[in-house]
Amino acid sequence: MKTINPATGESLKEYANTSFEEFEGIVFKANEAQKHWAKKDFAIRAPYLKKIAELLKEQKNELAALMAKEMGKPLAQGVGEIEKCAWVCEYYANKASKFLDRKFIKTEANRSYVTFEPLGTVLSIMPWNFPFWQLFRFGAPALMAGNAVILKHAEVTTGCALKIEEIVHESGIPSDLFRTILVENDDMKPIIQHEGIAAVTLTGSTRAGKIVASQAGEALKKTVLELGGSDPYLILDDADIRKAAETCAISRLINSGQSCIAAKRFIVTEKVYDEFLDAFKFELEKRNVGDPFEEETDVGPMARTDLRDTLHEQVSKSIEMGAEVVLGCDKPEWKGAWYPVSLLTNVSKGMPAYEEELFGPVASIIKVKDTNEAIEVANDTNYGLGAAVFSSHREKAEQIAGSQLNAGCVFVNAFVKSDPRLPFGGIKNSGYGRELGRYGIREFVNIKTVWVE
């Protein structure tokens, strides 16, 4: 297992894989540690999470540099990711006891109530695109709920995975309670199905989600899946075009376009189509593509050359089917996983740019007649993670967001983002279950009914 700098193609470091025998020792010790951890009060667990937050803040520049080196994230975005991780740790340290407090319900019983007890050791299978945030948005609530965590991270961010373990251990938390394993994807089935694993969470592609859900299902293990998205952004007749264009550009190019909740399909009513196209093109052209270690860089390299090549195949096929190039869409010949900021118009049903998730800095614009057609096109997808509506008529936009768009998260006049205070997750091929908020911390607990005569 080795890591590679996607900006240069140079090999960074090689790591020895965790054997299955080593994993069995890790999971046995994790379960033993979890039994003791589960008995501790929230007030005892919370300081460990707060210490993790403190360590993350202290090391944010170093951690951002590690992400830039391993997967190409621009430094400023990496610093923001680490600060958000600290926030989620502090949030659950302060809120977990309230979210999991015993709930009394009046019935014919003398007393009846619901308790929330940890499940045990949870296996976390995480992707490379937000290597710290993806883990901590699950790990902070899981640990505060009383679970143990075993992390299997993406191979390209192995250094990040080991650094996460180091920081968690440095907080003073029992070392066996949180462990990182280095295992190839093809070798995960016996680990997922191991009797010492109580539940599994995965953030990744829809294909990976189906595999993990199937393997976990064979062993009747609880799963939470946060998968891909093809997020539609609706630009309606009465939208503030300048603000919409700026917001859409930011969303499309976050993490060099490699985000499940990045804006993917821009559905624009014909009345404002030309105005939006001009403004959007202007905003995209303003973004600087370059070395992720340079302060002025907005868009770095993609994480791997094979991912870049897949994206280019999707773009090329869409062009062959009639999509028109406004920006970019040419694959550079130099070393590294680079791809230009790109814009396609005349995108229609059947094209990859319409049907599939484009995981990179490529935007697809779809022209529609009116609001009703915009909603219809937005819902015409196998995904259902995020969506956004841009309109100066807030009540109308809120009604569309609240009851007419099929997605787990819908934002009005803003880009989709995850927030520790709100549940996050999708429907359809974007997965199931929720992370964050009070709902996220309840995913990996036993919701137990107690009846006392």
d(Cα 3, Cα 321) in Å, to the nearest integer?
36
**Cα–Cα dist 253/388, whole Å:** 16
| Element (DSSP H or E) covering residue 269 | strand 265-269
Q: Which long-range contacts (C-beta less than 8 Å, at least 24 apart) are formed by 423-429?
A: 424/137, 424/226, 425/224, 425/226, 425/385, 426/226, 426/227, 426/229, 426/383, 426/384, 426/385, 426/386, 427/384, 428/381, 428/382, 428/383, 428/384, 429/206, 429/227, 429/228, 429/382, 429/383, 429/384
Torsion angles phi and psi, residue 7, rounded to 5: -80, -30
Catalytic residue among 90, 155, 226, 283: 226
Q: Are 134 and 126 in contact (CB under 8 A)?
A: yes
**Chain centre distance of CA 207:** 15
Sign of CA dihedral 388, 389, 392, 398: negative
Q: How big is the CA angle at 241 (ends 240 and 243), to the nearest 5 degrees?
A: 70
Residue 185 and residue 168: Cα distance in Å, rounded? 24
CA distance 447 to 438: 13
Catalytic residue, from 260, 329, 409, 443: name it.
260
DSSP string for 292-337: TTSTT-SB---S-HHHHHHHHHHHHHHHHTT-EEEE------SSSS
Catalytic: 226? Answer: yes
3-class secondary structure, 442: coil
What letters, b where the CB count within 10 A reaches 16 and e where it falls short, cover 226-260? Answer: bbbbbbbbbbbeebebeebbbbbbebbbbbbbbbb
Residue at token pair 């951002």: 64
3-state secondary structure 94-122: HHHHHHCCCEECCCCCCEEEEEEEECCEE
260 is catalytic: yes
Q: How far apart are CA 101 and CA 103, in angstroms?
A: 6
Residues in the chain: 453
| 8-state DSSP, 288 | P
Among all residues, which ones are annotated catalytic?
A: 226, 260
